[in-house]
Amino acid sequence: MNIFKAIGGTYNEVRLNPNVGTWSFLLHRLSGILLAFYLFMHLIVIATSPGNAGAFDSRLAAVQTRLFHLLEIGLVGVIFFHMLNGLRILVADFFYLTRQHQKLLWIVVIIFIIIMAYATAVMLPKVFHREVTEVAQIVGGLR
Amino acid sequence: MAYLKIFRYDPSGGVEPHFKRYELPPEKGMTILEALFWILENKDPSLAFRCSCREAVCGSCAVHINGEYRLACKTQVDPLGEEITIRPLTHLPIFKDLVVDMKPFFDQYEKIKPYLMPKEEPPESKEYFQSVKDRKKIDSLVDCILCGACYGSCPVAMGDPDYLGPHALLKALRFVQDTRDGAKTERLAIVATEHGVFRCHTIFNCQKVCPKDLDPTGAIAKLKMKSIGFKLKSMFGFARSAG
């Protein structure tokens, strides 16, 4: 199956089966592909980094930009979605909870929102080159 | 007033795939199948669709109606709104309009050997005995009418034409759990493959669309566990030949 046929077929599946299951399957696949891509890039950056500490730090400094800090929040989202949805499927399969899969999905969504709210609160200040404690002081000053 | 937007296609007659819109008479309690018959008799005698029992038993009239695979005979026109879109089952070649070639579907079904292979001969001039408790193990599984709704809704069937499909796997569990059957190992060897239970991604569409409210996803989950046990036994070389 060529890539265009696969994309067209996937679009058709989502269009004809607009169900929770189809969406979670599609997002699971996409998040899996993104994670594989990230892992590949991560390994390349680490593997091609120079041996001494100073040069290694300067290589990593290249990814300490606003864009990369923002992408890091996305990375947390992708990792946790893939992990929680994977657990949901395992629980449904191993404990024969297939009839309760919608409830399991809601549990996943709630846990995901809590994790993302915490991760964003901790990581978003970095996007604006601020520490979490600095933001806490600013918020405290506003009160 | 309701309108039916029906997929039309005739590969042998040179008609390209398109949708044709038909106006329906206001009639309370009309099913989609009755609407199709009304169109056939009053508007367009060239319309092709399948049906047989008209009471959700034969499974011939499964089509895609407004975002879901359903039986045309079991679906009322009224609750579906003003415009109703009808497509044939997907993942199967189209013969004409709403009629698809079910051969790939039944070929997959035949692979699981969908017939009883008993352990021994029945008691003389009597049938095979099965207790009420044992019969209950296959209670819901025998209700499958092989309509193809689950196969059409399964995204895995799109990517893997060799995938056995939810229908065949559900029926495989029906025989694996039947206490009269003696070919459990043989059947597990058929389903415990990359095109069998391990290809299922637990998407739940088959469960959502089943017109008999069966749970093919749950059946596959059970078969997965049995298949893992079978594979482990085979690996360590103590798989029994039968039973």
Is the pLDDT at B96 greater than 60, yes or no? Answer: yes
Give the C-alpha separation, B107 to B11, whole Å. Answer: 23
Give the C-alpha separation, B187 to B180, whole Å. Answer: 14
A91 touches chain B (CB under 8 A): no
Query: Backbone phi, then psi, for A78, in 5-degree steps?
Result: -65, -45
Q: How confident is the model at residue B243 (pLDDT cuts 50, 70, 90)?
A: very low
CB atoms within 10 A of CB A15: 10
Do residues A112 and A81 touch, judged by C-beta distance below 8 A? yes
Give the C-alpha separation, B97 to B9, whole Å. Answer: 5
Residue in B24, B59, B68, B73 with CA at minimum distance from that of residue B44: B24
**Mind telling me how many Å the CA of B120 is from chain A's nearest CA?**
32
Q: What is the pLDDT, as a whole number, of residue A65?
A: 85
Is the pLDDT at B65 greater than 60, yes or no? Answer: yes
Give CA separation, B214 vs B53, B73, B150, B211, in Å.
20, 18, 10, 8
Q: What is the pLDDT, as a whole number, of residue A48?
A: 85
AA letter at B188: L
Is the pLDDT at B241 greater than 60, yes or no? Answer: no
Chain length of chain B:
243
Alpha helices (runs of H) in B88-215, residue ranges in sequence order: 103-111, 132-136, 149-153, 155-159, 165-176, 184-191, 205-209
Which CATH number does B3-100 carry?
3.10.20.30
Measured CB to CB, residues of chain B less than 8 Å from chain A are 64, 67-68, 87, 90, 153, 155, 158-159, 201-205, 207-209, 215, 217-218, 221-222, 224-225
Q: How many CB pairs under 8 A join A and B?
A: 63
Residues from chain A contacting residue B209 (CB–CB below 8 Å): 17
| B204–A9 C-beta distance less than 8 A | no
| A94–B203 C-beta distance less than 8 A | no
| A25–B201 C-beta distance less than 8 A | yes
Give the C-alpha separation, B25 to B2, whole Å. Answer: 8
Q: How confident is the model at residue A64 (pLDDT cuts 50, 70, 90)?
A: confident
pLDDT digits (tens, 9 = 90+) for A8-23: 888 989 999 999 999 9
Q: What is the pLDDT, as a whole number, of residue A29?
A: 94
- Bridge partners of B69, per DSSP, are B64
Residue A100, token pair as written in the block: 């309760």
Q: Which residues, at least 6 apart from A110, have a Cβ–Cβ distance to it below 8 Å?
A: none
Give CA separation, B198 vs A93, B15, B152, B163, B235, in Å.
12, 40, 19, 10, 17
The residue range of the domain holding A37 is: 3-142
Nearest CA in chain A to B85: A16
pTM (predicted TM-score):
0.89
Residue ranges of chain B assigned to CATH 1.10.1060.10? 103-242
Fold of B103-242: Fumarate Reductase Iron-sulfur Protein; Chain B, domain 2 (1.10.1060)
Picking from A13, A93, A98, the nearest residue to B155 by CB comes out as A13
Mean pLDDT of the A81-102 span: 95
Is the pLDDT at B242 greater than 50, yes or no? Answer: no
pLDDT digits (tens, 9 = 90+) for A81-90: 999 999 999 9
Residues from chain A contacting residue B221 (CB–CB below 8 Å): 92-94, 96, 98
Residues from chain A contacting residue B208 (CB–CB below 8 Å): 19, 21
Q: Which residues, at least 6 apart from A116, have a Cβ–Cβ distance to it below 8 Å?
A: A76, A77, A80
ipTM, 2 decimals? 0.85
Give the C-alpha separation, A13 to A23, whole Å. Answer: 10
pLDDT digits (tens, 9 = 90+) for B99-150: 999 999 999 999 999 999 998 888 887 888 889 999 999 998 999 999 999 9
A7 touches chain B (CB under 8 A): no
Is the pLDDT at B159 greater than 60, yes or no? Answer: yes
pLDDT digits (tens, 9 = 90+) for A105-134: 999 999 999 999 999 999 988 888 766 667
Question: Domain tally for chain A?
Answer: 1
Residue B181 DSSP class: B
Q: What is the pLDDT, as a whole number, of residue A52?
A: 83
Q: What is the pLDDT, as a whole number, of residue B173?
A: 97
Q: Residue A74 belongs to a domain with what CATH number? A: 1.20.1300.10
A99 touches chain B (CB under 8 A): yes
Mean pLDDT of chain B: 93
B128 sits in which H/E element: none
**What percentage of chain B reaches a pLDDT higher than 90?**
85
